[in-house]
A and B are shown apart, each in its own frame.
Chain A
Amino acid sequence: MAKVVIIGAGFAGHTAALYLGDALGEDHEITVVNKGTEFCYLPSLIWLGVGRMAPEKLVFPLAPVYERFGVRFVQGQVTEIHPADDYVVVRPVGEEATRRLDYDHLIVATGPHLDYAGTPGLGPDGGHTESVCWIDHATRCRDAYLERVERMEKGERIRFVIGSGHPMATCQGAAFEYLANVHHDLLRRKLRDRADLEWLSNEDAPGDFGVGGVQVKRRGRVVGSDTFMQAVFEDFGVTARSGCGVLGVDEKRIHWEDLDGVEGDTRYDFAMLIPRFLGPRIRWVGKEGEDLASRVVNPGGFVLVDAFYGLPYDRLVDTPEAWPATYQSPNFRNVFAPGIAFAPPGPISRPHVTPGGRQITATAPRTGMVSATIGRLVAMNVIGLVREGKMKHQARMTEMFAACVASVSDSLWSGSAVSVVVMPVVPNHMRYPKSGGRDPLSTHLESGLAGAWMKYTIHKTMLHKMKGRFGWKIIPE
């Protein structure tokens, strides 16, 4: 009987658990360890952040789903991984003592560590800014937002600043979506004229989204996501400031440096800034109790997998095979890292260094769709290893598709959304040399009501899939 341990029940880990449970649940021991008891559908947190969706609509309990799939569930936090001895140390919630869990295959799907501490004054816990990256943070963000709305109703003018909170932050799509929803919610409340909305981001141009931007052909013209987003910002009446790495936040101002090395600050009354993402805060311990981190994770804590690390950017863009295919640790072959937990070989967007030597770059996003696709791939390979002793599948982000639908409101009648569909996520200049590395037939950039329908459809179908309900397997990740 094989033992598979999955750390984390987000998009990557939960998807892997469903496929593994479905294939091996009856005869083998599949265990999921997750900090919380519920699955949270993170892409819809932006609606929670403006008070347009109740938190309970975004979550469902994991245990009943796992029971149906023959998967064991432990609510707790993994504190140590012993990859040379094949076990993890778990601190179950509500228990003082730690527990040891042995494995034959380990899937590290912990998502990001939200590094608010990386920017002084950032974040909801002890800092001055809000965040929509996790459900309790988004709930706090909603309360802070509604408090500003109340002040505006009394006649006050409020300055909202939304974007990225670190020179190396990612997830600009989520921040933009939040900005769009704030804009729309204020319009709906007839308060938009009392608000100044500002976009502050570390992307070198608006619409880069950490994937180097997108180009599409529309009515015979090539439109880039930078021009497209500029038009959207103009339409929304938003002041956009790109290429800014946030260095710190105090009670009134956000301090930043731009790509030219010029330092400045922005006043705010409400700020929602996405922090830098780091890898999981878990100790990697060797046989003698030594620290194995340098063999398993990169300096940011992301798990090293089968990528080619260290290539200069100009070579990386021409080396699609540098991106990992199996997400397997090269030093510990029974350890896999799908989703945000794996270390990408470099950024997708061109990196920038200021004259003073500070790196300001929108780092590579690993979106929900990508994370779930990799989760499924890793599960299929582990199933192959358990049944036949070999892995049969591979998928690189240079061949993988992603969609980011940034809704402007949740209404199916009058809503709208900016839809960005990219194939592949990481431009593959060798396969698509004439279209900026992207498949021109699948890549899509558009704003309109259809996007709001798409967002709603994805929300409903993904939750249906994640609950493991009828037909879950045919719904694409």
Chain B
Amino acid sequence: MTTTRGQRFLSAFKPYQLWRFLVMNVKILRGVDRSKRLPAFRVKYKVSYVVPGGEMPSVIANTSKPHQAGDVIRLLDRDVEVIEVRQMMRPRNQFTFLEAICRPVEGK
């Protein structure tokens, strides 16, 4: 891509630049307004919890925070530790689909 003569002319043509200045101001004010007022965008995580070895059945649940390896969570009345989190498919809109591989926490 190269800058054409027309573009070069327009980039210094004052009436056109006044219009661009107004457009930019509107965009900036819109951006400022949105970043000031937007309610936080809530992502929903649909997590399939898998405990290998068949000790516990898989569970699917919604959470508002993605798990990380090392998290200990309560699953079907037992404490399990998350050892790996995988993304099962690309997120769609607000939904993220995760698979959390877990192991029962010793002694619980």
Please give the residue numbers on chain A whose beta carbons come within 8 Å of chain B beta carbons, in ascending order. 223, 227-228, 230-232, 234-235, 308, 310-311, 314-315, 318-322, 325, 373, 394-396, 398-401, 403, 414, 416, 419, 421, 423-424, 428-431, 433, 439, 441-444, 446-451, 453-454, 476-477
Pairs A–B under 8 Å by Cβ, sample size 8:
A315-B66, A315-B85, A395-B35, A399-B38, A421-B27, A421-B31, A439-B31, A476-B29
A343 CA to B42 CA, complexed, in Å: 22
Contact A441 B27 (CB under 8 A): yes
Closest approach, in angstroms, between the C-beta of A215 and any C-beta of chain B? 13
Q: Which residues of chain A are within 8 angstroms of B1 by Cβ–Cβ distance?
A: 223, 227-228, 230-231
A441 with B41: in contact, given A308-B68, A416-B11 (CB under 8 Å)?
Answer: no
Closest to B43 in A: A321
Q: Which residues of chain B are within 8 angstroms of A314 by Cβ–Cβ distance?
A: 87
Contact A396 B31 (CB under 8 A): no
Contact A450 B21 (CB under 8 A): yes
A401 with B31: in contact, given A315-B87, A318-B91 (CB under 8 Å)?
Answer: yes
Please give the residue numbers on chain B whose beta carbons come within 8 Å of chain A beta carbons, in ascending order. 1-3, 10-12, 14, 17-18, 20-21, 23-25, 27-32, 34-36, 38, 40-43, 65-66, 68, 85, 87, 90-91, 93-94, 96
A121 CA to B94 CA, complexed, in Å: 48
Question: How many A-B contacts are there with CB distance less than 8 Å?
Answer: 120
Contact B10 A448 (CB under 8 A): yes
Partner of B11, one of A234, A308, A447: A447
A414 CA to B11 CA, complexed, in Å: 10
Q: Which residues of chain A are within 8 angstroms of B35 by Cβ–Cβ distance?
A: 373, 395, 399-401, 423-424
Q: Which of B2, B27, B94, B96 has the most CB of A within 10 A?
A: B27
Contact B94 A448 (CB under 8 A): no
Contact B68 A310 (CB under 8 A): yes
Closest to A422 in B: B31
Q: Which residues of chain A are within 8 angstroms of B18 by Cβ–Cβ distance?
A: 450
A332 CA to B8 CA, complexed, in Å: 54
Closest to B64 in A: A321
Q: Which residues of chain B are within 8 angstroms of A447 by Cβ–Cβ distance?
A: 11
A401 with B17: in contact, given A231-B1, A419-B24, A449-B11 (CB under 8 Å)?
Answer: no
Contact A320 B24 (CB under 8 A): no
Contact A442 B91 (CB under 8 A): no
Closest to A400 in B: B35
Q: Which residues of chain B are within 8 angstroms of A448 by Cβ–Cβ distance?
A: 10-12, 17, 20
Q: Which residues of chain A are within 8 angstroms of B17 by Cβ–Cβ distance?
A: 448-450, 453
Contact B96 A442 (CB under 8 A): no
Partner of A318, one of B68, B85, B90: B90
Partner of A449, one of B14, B32, B43: B14
Sort A-B residue pairs by CB-CB distance and give the 5 closest, nearest first: A401-B31, A448-B11, A450-B20, A450-B21, A476-B32
A433 with B93: in contact, given A400-B35, A416-B12, A441-B30 (CB under 8 Å)?
Answer: yes
Closest approach, in angstroms, between the C-beta of A298 and any C-beta of chain B? 16
Q: Which residues of chain A are within 8 angstroms of B28 by Cβ–Cβ distance?
A: 401, 403, 421, 442, 454, 476
Contact A444 B96 (CB under 8 A): no
Contact B11 A430 (CB under 8 A): no
Closest approach, in angstroms, between the C-beta of B104 and any C-beta of chain A? 23
Q: Which residues of chain B are within 8 angstroms of A403 by Cβ–Cβ distance?
A: 28, 31
Closest to B95 in A: A430
Q: Which residues of chain A are within 8 angstroms of B93 by Cβ–Cβ distance?
A: 430, 433
Closest approach, in angstroms, between the C-beta of A267 and any C-beta of chain B? 28
Q: Which residues of chain B are within 8 angstroms of A429 by Cβ–Cβ distance?
A: 91
Closest approach, in angstroms, between the C-beta of B33 and any C-beta of chain A? 8
Contact B21 A454 (CB under 8 A): yes
Closest to A453 in B: B21
Contact A394 B24 (CB under 8 A): no
Partner of A423, one of B34, B40, B42: B34
A321 with B91: in contact, given A421-B27, A476-B36 (CB under 8 Å)?
Answer: no
Q: Which of B1, B31, B32, B43 has the most CB of A within 10 A?
A: B31
